Amino acid sequence: MAEIVLTAGVPHTPLLWRLLREPIPDDLVSVASNYDRFRELLATARPDVIVLVASDHFRQLATSNMPAFMIGKAEEMRGTHPNEERAFGLPFVTVPGDPEVARVVLGHHQLPAGFDFAFSDEPWLDHAFMVPLLYLTPQLDVPVVPVYTNTNAPPIPSARRFVELGTYLRTSLLQSSLRRRVAIIGTGHLAFELGGPRQFLGTSPDPEFDGLACEWMAEGRGEEAVEACSFERLVGAGNLTFQFLNFLTCLAAAGGRPATIAEATPCRFGNEPFFAWEAE
Protein backbone atom coordinates (compact mmCIF):
# COMPACT_ATOMS: atom_id res chain seq x y z
CA MET A 1 0.00 0.00 0.00
CA ALA A 2 1.00 3.64 -0.34
CA GLU A 3 2.41 5.46 2.68
CA ILE A 4 1.81 9.14 3.45
CA VAL A 5 5.20 10.39 4.62
CA LEU A 6 4.44 14.11 4.90
CA THR A 7 1.49 16.47 4.65
CA ALA A 8 2.21 20.17 4.34
CA GLY A 9 0.77 23.54 3.37
CA VAL A 10 2.81 26.40 1.91
CA PRO A 11 2.21 29.75 0.16
CA HIS A 12 2.55 30.40 -3.57
CA THR A 13 2.66 34.19 -3.85
CA PRO A 14 4.36 34.54 -7.26
CA LEU A 15 6.10 37.85 -6.52
CA LEU A 16 8.28 35.97 -4.04
CA TRP A 17 10.12 34.38 -6.97
CA ARG A 18 11.73 37.72 -7.93
CA LEU A 19 12.27 38.87 -4.34
CA LEU A 20 13.86 35.88 -2.59
CA ARG A 21 17.32 36.62 -3.97
CA GLU A 22 20.43 37.61 -2.05
CA PRO A 23 20.41 39.96 -0.32
CA ILE A 24 16.95 38.89 0.79
CA PRO A 25 14.84 41.84 2.01
CA ASP A 26 14.55 41.93 5.78
CA ASP A 27 10.80 41.36 5.83
CA LEU A 28 11.16 38.21 3.69
CA VAL A 29 13.99 36.50 5.58
CA SER A 30 11.56 34.42 7.65
CA VAL A 31 9.61 33.40 4.55
CA ALA A 32 12.82 32.25 2.84
CA SER A 33 13.87 30.42 6.00
CA ASN A 34 10.55 28.58 6.18
CA TYR A 35 10.78 27.50 2.54
CA ASP A 36 14.27 26.13 3.34
CA ARG A 37 12.89 24.38 6.39
CA PHE A 38 10.07 22.75 4.43
CA ARG A 39 12.42 21.75 1.62
CA GLU A 40 14.46 19.88 4.24
CA LEU A 41 11.30 18.26 5.64
CA LEU A 42 10.41 17.02 2.17
CA ALA A 43 13.93 15.76 1.48
CA THR A 44 13.91 13.88 4.78
CA ALA A 45 10.51 12.33 3.96
CA ARG A 46 11.88 11.01 0.63
CA PRO A 47 8.56 10.90 -1.26
CA ASP A 48 8.20 8.97 -4.50
CA VAL A 49 5.37 11.28 -5.56
CA ILE A 50 3.79 14.57 -4.52
CA VAL A 51 0.01 14.97 -4.60
CA LEU A 52 -0.25 18.75 -4.94
CA VAL A 53 -3.55 20.46 -4.08
CA ALA A 54 -3.79 23.93 -5.60
CA SER A 55 -6.10 26.31 -7.47
CA ASP A 56 -5.65 27.36 -11.08
CA HIS A 57 -5.82 31.14 -11.57
CA PHE A 58 -7.94 31.26 -14.74
CA ARG A 59 -5.03 30.14 -16.91
CA GLN A 60 -5.91 26.57 -17.82
CA LEU A 61 -9.47 26.68 -16.48
CA ALA A 62 -12.08 29.38 -17.07
CA THR A 63 -15.58 30.22 -15.88
CA SER A 64 -16.93 28.76 -19.14
CA ASN A 65 -15.70 25.32 -18.01
CA MET A 66 -14.79 25.28 -14.31
CA PRO A 67 -14.77 21.93 -12.49
CA ALA A 68 -14.96 21.83 -8.71
CA PHE A 69 -12.06 19.34 -8.58
CA MET A 70 -9.80 18.07 -11.35
CA ILE A 71 -6.95 15.54 -11.43
CA GLY A 72 -3.99 15.79 -13.79
CA LYS A 73 -2.92 12.35 -14.98
CA ALA A 74 -0.18 13.00 -17.53
CA GLU A 75 3.29 11.49 -17.55
CA GLU A 76 4.72 14.96 -18.23
CA MET A 77 3.25 18.42 -17.64
CA ARG A 78 4.09 21.93 -18.76
CA GLY A 79 4.90 24.39 -16.02
CA THR A 80 4.43 28.18 -16.13
CA HIS A 81 2.22 30.16 -18.49
CA PRO A 82 3.65 32.91 -20.72
CA ASN A 83 2.18 35.80 -18.74
CA GLU A 84 3.71 34.36 -15.53
CA GLU A 85 7.12 34.21 -17.16
CA ARG A 86 6.75 37.86 -18.18
CA ALA A 87 5.27 39.13 -14.91
CA PHE A 88 7.11 37.06 -12.32
CA GLY A 89 10.17 35.61 -14.07
CA LEU A 90 9.02 32.05 -13.43
CA PRO A 91 10.84 29.58 -15.72
CA PHE A 92 9.21 27.41 -18.35
CA VAL A 93 9.75 23.81 -17.20
CA THR A 94 8.62 20.24 -17.64
CA VAL A 95 7.28 18.45 -14.55
CA PRO A 96 7.09 14.63 -14.31
CA GLY A 97 3.75 13.05 -13.41
CA ASP A 98 2.63 9.72 -11.94
CA PRO A 99 -0.35 8.41 -13.93
CA GLU A 100 -0.65 5.31 -11.72
CA VAL A 101 -1.26 7.39 -8.60
CA ALA A 102 -3.60 9.66 -10.57
CA ARG A 103 -5.65 6.62 -11.61
CA VAL A 104 -5.88 5.50 -7.98
CA VAL A 105 -7.33 8.88 -7.02
CA LEU A 106 -9.65 8.88 -10.03
CA GLY A 107 -10.93 5.39 -9.30
CA HIS A 108 -9.51 3.50 -12.32
CA HIS A 109 -12.56 2.52 -14.45
CA GLN A 110 -15.25 4.13 -12.29
CA LEU A 111 -15.34 7.43 -10.48
CA PRO A 112 -15.32 7.03 -6.69
CA ALA A 113 -18.50 7.38 -4.70
CA GLY A 114 -18.94 10.98 -3.65
CA PHE A 115 -16.43 12.58 -6.04
CA ASP A 116 -17.10 13.25 -9.70
CA PHE A 117 -13.63 14.44 -10.59
CA ALA A 118 -12.81 16.07 -13.89
CA PHE A 119 -9.46 14.99 -15.30
CA SER A 120 -6.88 16.13 -17.80
CA ASP A 121 -4.19 14.37 -19.83
CA GLU A 122 -2.69 17.80 -20.63
CA PRO A 123 -2.49 19.71 -17.35
CA TRP A 124 -0.61 23.00 -17.55
CA LEU A 125 0.63 24.14 -14.16
CA ASP A 126 0.44 27.78 -13.15
CA HIS A 127 2.23 29.57 -10.31
CA ALA A 128 0.06 28.00 -7.61
CA PHE A 129 1.74 24.72 -8.45
CA MET A 130 5.10 25.95 -9.68
CA VAL A 131 6.14 28.27 -6.84
CA PRO A 132 5.91 25.48 -4.21
CA LEU A 133 7.61 22.98 -6.52
CA LEU A 134 10.47 25.31 -7.42
CA TYR A 135 11.19 26.04 -3.77
CA LEU A 136 10.59 22.57 -2.32
CA THR A 137 11.98 20.42 -5.18
CA PRO A 138 14.31 22.72 -7.12
CA GLN A 139 15.41 19.90 -9.44
CA LEU A 140 11.77 19.03 -10.22
CA ASP A 141 12.77 15.40 -9.88
CA VAL A 142 9.79 14.15 -7.85
CA PRO A 143 6.70 13.13 -9.90
CA VAL A 144 3.59 15.18 -9.23
CA VAL A 145 -0.14 14.47 -9.34
CA PRO A 146 -1.89 17.87 -9.48
CA VAL A 147 -5.28 18.19 -7.80
CA TYR A 148 -6.99 21.33 -9.05
CA THR A 149 -9.58 22.92 -6.77
CA ASN A 150 -11.97 25.74 -7.59
CA THR A 151 -11.49 28.47 -5.01
CA ASN A 152 -11.76 31.38 -7.43
CA ALA A 153 -15.05 31.17 -9.35
CA PRO A 154 -18.32 30.96 -7.39
CA PRO A 155 -20.10 28.71 -6.77
CA ILE A 156 -17.15 27.42 -4.73
CA PRO A 157 -17.31 24.03 -2.98
CA SER A 158 -18.07 24.29 0.73
CA ALA A 159 -15.42 24.02 3.43
CA ARG A 160 -16.81 20.60 4.33
CA ARG A 161 -16.28 19.47 0.76
CA PHE A 162 -12.59 20.33 1.00
CA VAL A 163 -12.36 18.27 4.19
CA GLU A 164 -14.08 15.38 2.44
CA LEU A 165 -11.54 15.68 -0.38
CA GLY A 166 -8.66 15.35 2.08
CA THR A 167 -10.25 12.34 3.75
CA TYR A 168 -10.82 10.74 0.36
CA LEU A 169 -7.22 11.34 -0.77
CA ARG A 170 -5.91 9.79 2.44
CA THR A 171 -8.19 6.75 2.27
CA SER A 172 -7.72 6.05 -1.43
CA LEU A 173 -3.94 6.21 -1.17
CA LEU A 174 -3.61 4.17 2.02
CA GLN A 175 -5.92 1.48 0.66
CA SER A 176 -4.27 1.27 -2.76
CA SER A 177 -2.01 -1.59 -3.82
CA LEU A 178 0.66 0.83 -5.05
CA ARG A 179 3.93 0.93 -3.17
CA ARG A 180 4.60 4.66 -3.00
CA ARG A 181 5.89 7.12 -0.44
CA VAL A 182 3.46 10.01 -0.87
CA ALA A 183 3.71 13.65 0.19
CA ILE A 184 0.43 15.59 0.13
CA ILE A 185 1.08 19.30 -0.23
CA GLY A 186 -1.54 22.03 -0.37
CA THR A 187 -1.02 25.66 -1.23
CA GLY A 188 -3.09 28.78 -0.74
CA HIS A 189 -3.43 31.85 1.42
CA LEU A 190 -4.51 33.01 4.82
CA ALA A 191 -6.46 36.28 4.75
CA PHE A 192 -5.51 37.77 1.39
CA GLU A 193 -6.78 40.45 -0.94
CA LEU A 194 -5.76 41.02 -4.55
CA GLY A 195 -6.80 44.07 -6.53
CA GLY A 196 -8.84 45.56 -3.69
CA PRO A 197 -8.21 48.36 -1.19
CA ARG A 198 -6.50 45.99 1.28
CA GLN A 199 -3.91 44.66 -1.19
CA PHE A 200 -0.26 44.53 -0.04
CA LEU A 201 -0.61 46.91 2.91
CA GLY A 202 2.26 45.25 4.74
CA THR A 203 -0.18 43.70 7.21
CA SER A 204 -2.87 41.05 7.02
CA PRO A 205 -6.31 42.27 5.92
CA ASP A 206 -7.76 40.13 8.74
CA PRO A 207 -5.30 39.21 11.53
CA GLU A 208 -8.09 37.60 13.55
CA PHE A 209 -8.77 35.09 10.78
CA ASP A 210 -5.06 34.29 10.45
CA GLY A 211 -4.77 33.63 14.18
CA LEU A 212 -7.79 31.35 14.17
CA ALA A 213 -6.52 29.51 11.08
CA CYS A 214 -3.24 28.67 12.79
CA GLU A 215 -5.10 27.50 15.91
CA TRP A 216 -7.33 25.22 13.82
CA MET A 217 -4.27 23.60 12.26
CA ALA A 218 -2.13 23.47 15.41
CA GLU A 219 -4.92 21.88 17.45
CA GLY A 220 -6.56 19.76 14.75
CA ARG A 221 -9.87 21.62 15.08
CA GLY A 222 -11.21 20.76 11.64
CA GLU A 223 -14.89 20.79 12.54
CA GLU A 224 -14.58 24.26 14.05
CA ALA A 225 -12.84 25.44 10.88
CA VAL A 226 -15.63 24.04 8.70
CA GLU A 227 -18.27 25.84 10.73
CA ALA A 228 -16.33 29.12 10.64
CA CYS A 229 -15.37 29.14 6.95
CA SER A 230 -18.62 30.28 5.42
CA PHE A 231 -18.59 32.10 2.08
CA GLU A 232 -19.36 35.37 3.87
CA ARG A 233 -16.56 34.94 6.45
CA LEU A 234 -13.97 34.07 3.83
CA VAL A 235 -14.79 36.90 1.45
CA GLY A 236 -14.87 39.27 4.42
CA ALA A 237 -11.26 38.32 5.17
CA GLY A 238 -10.15 39.14 1.61
CA ASN A 239 -11.18 38.16 -1.88
CA LEU A 240 -8.58 35.36 -2.23
CA THR A 241 -8.98 33.94 1.27
CA PHE A 242 -10.97 31.09 -0.28
CA GLN A 243 -7.66 29.45 -1.13
CA PHE A 244 -7.29 28.73 2.58
CA LEU A 245 -9.73 25.88 1.98
CA ASN A 246 -6.92 23.87 0.36
CA PHE A 247 -5.34 23.69 3.82
CA LEU A 248 -8.49 22.09 5.22
CA THR A 249 -7.88 19.35 2.65
CA CYS A 250 -4.36 18.96 4.07
CA LEU A 251 -5.64 18.79 7.66
CA ALA A 252 -8.07 16.02 6.71
CA ALA A 253 -5.44 14.21 4.62
CA ALA A 254 -3.28 14.12 7.74
CA GLY A 255 -6.09 12.35 9.58
CA GLY A 256 -7.32 15.49 11.33
CA ARG A 257 -4.48 15.44 13.83
CA PRO A 258 -2.74 18.59 15.11
CA ALA A 259 -0.06 20.04 12.88
CA THR A 260 3.53 19.83 14.04
CA ILE A 261 4.17 23.25 12.46
CA ALA A 262 1.52 25.98 12.13
CA GLU A 263 2.85 29.43 11.37
CA ALA A 264 1.60 32.66 9.83
CA THR A 265 4.83 34.31 8.70
CA PRO A 266 4.51 38.10 8.38
CA CYS A 267 5.88 39.91 5.34
CA ARG A 268 4.96 42.74 2.96
CA PHE A 269 2.17 40.63 1.43
CA GLY A 270 0.47 39.92 4.77
CA ASN A 271 0.91 36.60 6.58
CA GLU A 272 2.26 33.64 4.60
CA PRO A 273 1.03 30.19 5.72
CA PHE A 274 3.35 27.31 6.62
CA PHE A 275 1.74 24.13 7.98
CA ALA A 276 3.19 20.65 8.37
CA TRP A 277 2.03 17.28 9.61
CA GLU A 278 5.09 15.08 9.83
CA ALA A 279 4.76 11.30 9.54
CA GLU A 280 3.02 9.58 12.46
pLDDT tens-digit profile of 15-45? 999 999 999 999 999 999 999 999 999 999 9
pLDDT tens-digit profile of 88-101? 999 999 999 999 99
pLDDT tens-digit profile of 46-93? 999 999 999 999 888 888 889 999 999 999 999 999 999 999 999 999
In angstroms, what CA-CA distances link 91 with 22, 241, 258? 19, 26, 35
pLDDT tens-digit profile of 115-131? 899 999 999 999 999 99
Residue ranges of domains in the chain:
3-278
Mean pLDDT score across all residues of the chain: 95
Beta strands in the chain (DSSP E): 3-10, 49-54, 69-72, 76-79, 93-96, 118-120, 124-125, 144-149, 181-187, 261-267, 270-278
**Residue 200 pLDDT > 80, yes or no?**
no
Q: Mean pLDDT check: name the lowest of 104-108, 166-170, 244-248, 249-253.
A: 104-108
Query: Which CATH number applies to 3-278?
Result: 3.40.830.10
φ, ψ of residue 97 to 5 degrees: the values are -110, 180
Average pLDDT over residues 157-168: 98
